[in-house]
Structure 1
Amino acid sequence: MAYSAEKLNEEKVFKDPVHRYIHVRDRAIWDLVGTKEFQRLRRIKQLGTTYLTFHGAEHSRFNHSLGVYEIVRRIVDTVFAGRPEWNEEERLLSLCAALLHDLGHGPFSHSFEKVFDLDHENFTRAIILGDTEVNKVLTRISADFPKKVADVIAKTYEDKLVVSLISSQIDADRMDYLQRDAYFTGVSYGHFDMERILRVMRPKEDQVVFKQSGMHAVEDYIMSRYQMYWQVYFHPVTRSAEVILTKILHRAKHLHEQGYSFKHMPLHFYSLFEEKVTLEDYLKLDEGVFLYYFQIWQEEEDEVLKDLCCRFINRNLFKYVEFDPAREYKKLAKLSQLFVEAGIDPEYYLVVDSSSDLPYDFYRPGEEEERLPIHLQMKNGELRELSRESEIVDAISGKRRTDHKLYYPADFVSGSEEIRKLLEL
């Protein structure tokens, strides 16, 4: 029997708090889960620093990746099965892409990427196409199979219906992380009727569409996403932790460039500092490694690195005030001057952080592909863009919301009346 068609002797299941059970019958999927590159995702948190705000948010990208796989498995094995618009030969490709879509995420992913100018999607492709256990499994399916999986994840694969399962405005990736993140943070915002959405989902040429009768379930999903971004993902306390984390990494890199002699050599960081990160180097990084260094850097001679690491490890986070950089730039300049006079480095201790989200948009030429609209299939077969039928979605469609905050260490500024007055404390 060809490896691509090989099944396990009996179905394996993972007990899951969101989907109840995750079912694996394909030998290739089971082998991929067992690879060291996939197991590494157990050591990368799904929500980065959010555990410092919502203490339950300790779940990993391993959990999430299995969840995305399970949603896609349900779609291709039940919802799409037997429909003429669906090419059954794309089934295993869809499952592998769903399972591996986050394979290249690093520790505290987005903060880490910004500091060192990295892109997890590039590393996902590198792991799939490189000299890895994952690549060996995929190559057993066919010589060109790793490239097909990488192309689906990069959104360049020729069958756009397959791509849309994991990369669109309503896809398996978002459907899993909204529910999973809501479950582990303990909030109610991210819950929506996924069972109903799956029931009204239909394959249509190069995209997934939804029966008109399921419009309210899709509306619920859009609003869940909107609420989760502002109540969880952009929570100001989480952003404070990210600011400190980012500044730790910036400070450590700066010290290395200045020839500073670390008490404990940051071996795992040298390739990052020098912007020569190999795939082998990258795969050695996880959050345990980062936290180890943050722990020992509390004993460094450099006061800034030492203080920032103490703050992160012990959750002594920066406070924040609302801030409008367009109108209050003079205030920021004055605060920076006062910080310098007080012996506080504003580069590390006075930080403007901005968050922005576009909850739903219809396609506009020249914009990113994932903004392809959600279409409803009317009773007569006609396709209608969601916001043209839904007043709720129309109200938020195309409206970008941006939020700015100014972060600072309250304990450092408590003695300066002038700084406190500018910060309106």
Structure 2
Amino acid sequence: MTTPYYGQLEEEKVFKDPVHRYIHVRDELIWALIGTKEFQRLRRIRQLGTTYVTFHGAEHTRFNHSLGVYEITRRILEVFHGRPHWKDEDRLLTLSAALLHDVGHGPFSHSFEKVFDMDHEEWTREIILGDTEINEVLTNVSADFPQAVADVIEKTYSNKLITSIISSQIDADRMDYLQRDAYYTGVSYGHFDMERILRVMRPMEDQVVIKQSGMHAVEDYIMSRYQMYWQVYFHPVTRSAEVILSKIFKRAKELHLSGYEFKQKPEHFYSFFHGKGSLDDYLRLDEAITLYYFQIWQEEEDRILRDLCVRFLNRRLFKYVEFDPNQRMNDWPELQELFRKADLNPEYYLVVDSSSDLPYDFYRPGEEEERLPIHLVLPNGKIRELSRESDVVEAISGKKRTDHKLYFPLDCLEDVREHKEVKERILRILKK
């Protein structure tokens, strides 16, 4: 590319979308970014990780979602056009950040990140600033444009209004994933009146605010977010698949570091087994590659890796019981010892998983920026924090809900051909 700037496409490009009906692209810059190989890679990474084992329709990708966030942002900016506090010169920066906000996600991202101690946001930054097609496209706008896009996504950009459009307690990112995830999982919880919210959004100096007349649509959005977290994102069956997935990565890494000889060398993971891999290695990873290794590892000599891969691929998941570690501290050492006696490594077969969510929070000085509260603008021009006007939101404000479950292979415990007494003792403790 030699053109030092981007204009408008000769003809608008349109993506047909089941959630927003149409996604409109008029800018050469956005069209060029969508065509980069790093952005196209998102077609091979599911938006909801292992959720497809619970809700079989949840096969949609980060590519779908990223286009959706771009489209919502584009519509917000149409509402902002010509209003005080909004400068149209920031339009392409905002749209680029919306489109690229998730470009650093890896395969089954949260499990992968946890085991290999990495963060998709850091990878997003590296992709935008590194030797990539995305960086080349952005640099053609101006030399400092990639850095500005990275700063908006990292929430360090000087103009907080732009950041809040993409990342706040009511933003284009959340508005897309709630509706998209509800659509593809087939649940009714994630739906709210987005068109109404978009119509009542207004730009202020440092954040987007909502006209008071749109308060009920925002209440609906917050409640739908609350429901989606507990009914979909934290669904215990999905979490079981997630637990097994994490343990597969953990076992493969442990085996490699101990000098184990794999039948098929896991070359795609080598650099991650030894610390942070290179950007090229990371961009080569997607879910097809990952599932290929899981398929092959079903034939491995190592009993634990083999068993975990068979479980993951054939949906033979761990069962679970409610288990608050604080209340059941006394059971934990005994359970671990009994699992060892039953020839089940507790590192892999006895797992406490905790989920927690804060559906809405008011401002807490010194806390992360994302908790900037939602503000309403009253008819007299005054600004009020949402929970002070809404009884519904006040009822859930600042209330963190946490859920603990203990996952284990019930099928192994019910097979009493060996270690019968030990396994019966384990089951008695679990059923307490």
State the Cα deviation string for residues 26-64 of structure 1 (Å, max 9, x = none).
001001000000000000000000000000000000000
* Aligned equivalents of 1:281, 1:2: Cα separation in 2: 30
State the Cα deviation string for residues 176-229 of structure 1 (Å, max 9, x = none).
000000000000000000000001100011100000010000000000000000
1:418 counterpart (392, 412, 425): 425
- 1:405 aligns to what? 405
Q: TM-score, normalised by structure 1?
A: 0.99
- 2:43 aligns to what? 42
- 1:22 aligns to what? 23
Report 1:16-415 matches (<5 A): 16-76=17-77, 78-414=78-414, 415=416
Whether contact under 8 Å (1:201, 1:209) holds in the other structure is: yes
> Which residue identity lines up with residue 232 of structure 1 in the other structure?
V
- The unaligned stretches of length 5 or more in structure 2 are 417-422
Cα 1:5–1:280 shift into 2, 3 Å? closer
Whether contact under 8 Å (1:29, 1:96) holds in the other structure is: yes
> Which residue identity lines up with residue 230 of structure 1 in the other structure?
W
- 1:6 aligns to what? 7
> Which residue identity lines up with residue 196 of structure 2 in the other structure?
R
Cα 1:199–1:4 shift into 2, 3 Å? farther
> Which residue identity lines up with residue 95 of structure 2 in the other structure?
L
CA RMSD of aligned residues (A): 1.1
Cα 1:276–1:208 shift into 2, 3 Å? closer
Deviation at 1:424, TM superposition (A): 1.0
> Following superposition, which runs of at least 4 residues in structure 1 exceed 6 angstroms of deviation?
none
Whether contact under 8 Å (1:65, 1:98) holds in the other structure is: yes
Cα 1:157–1:345 shift into 2, 3 Å? same
State the Cα deviation string for residues 326-357 of structure 1 (Å, max 9, x = none).
01011122111111111111110000000000
> Which residue identity lines up with residue 17 of structure 2 in the other structure?
D
Deviation at 1:2, TM superposition (A): 7.4
State the Cα deviation string for residues 295-335 of structure 1 (Å, max 9, x = none).
00000000000000000010000000000100101112211
Whether contact under 8 Å (1:3, 1:27) holds in the other structure is: no
* Aligned equivalents of 2:121, 2:275: Cα separation in 1: 17
- 2:420 aligns to what? none
> Which residue identity lines up with residue 421 of structure 1 in the other structure?
R
Cα 1:98–1:343 shift into 2, 3 Å? same
* Aligned equivalents of 1:111, 1:4: Cα separation in 2: 39
Q: State the secondary structure of the residue aligned to 1:360.
A: coil
Q: State the secondary structure of the residue aligned to 1:329.
A: coil
Q: State the secondary structure of the residue aligned to 2:238.
A: helix
* Aligned equivalents of 1:296, 1:388: Cα separation in 2: 56
Q: What percentage of aligned pairs have identical amino acids?
A: 74
Q: State the secondary structure of the residue aligned to 1:59.
A: coil
* Aligned equivalents of 2:18, 2:294: Cα separation in 1: 32
Q: TM-score, normalised by structure 2?
A: 0.97
Q: State the secondary structure of the residue aligned to 1:299.
A: coil
Whether contact under 8 Å (1:4, 1:92) holds in the other structure is: no
> Which residue identity lines up with residue 45 of structure 2 in the other structure?
I
Q: State the secondary structure of the residue aligned to 2:140.
A: helix
* Higher mean C-alpha displacement, 217-226 vs 327-336: 327-336
Deviation at 1:276, TM superposition (A): 3.7
* Aligned equivalents of 2:395, 2:43: Cα separation in 1: 39
> Which residue identity lines up with residue 216 of structure 1 in the other structure?
H
> Which residue identity lines up with residue 428 of structure 2 in the other structure?
K
Deviation at 1:239, TM superposition (A): 0.3
* Aligned equivalents of 1:68, 1:140: Cα separation in 2: 23
* Aligned equivalents of 1:260, 1:5: Cα separation in 2: 52
* Aligned equivalents of 2:21, 2:238: Cα separation in 1: 29
Deviation at 1:257, TM superposition (A): 1.1
State the Cα deviation string for residues 260-301 of structure 1 (Å, max 9, x = none).
000100000100000141101100000001100000000000
* Aligned equivalents of 1:240, 1:12: Cα separation in 2: 41
* Aligned equivalents of 2:392, 2:5: Cα separation in 1: 44
- The unaligned stretches of length 5 or more in structure 1 are none
* Aligned equivalents of 1:134, 1:168: Cα separation in 2: 25
Deviation at 1:5, TM superposition (A): 4.8
Q: State the secondary structure of the residue aligned to 2:298.
A: helix
Cα 1:3–1:190 shift into 2, 3 Å? farther
Whether contact under 8 Å (1:10, 1:25) holds in the other structure is: yes
* Aligned equivalents of 2:305, 2:411: Cα separation in 1: 17
Q: State the secondary structure of the residue aligned to 1:399.
A: coil
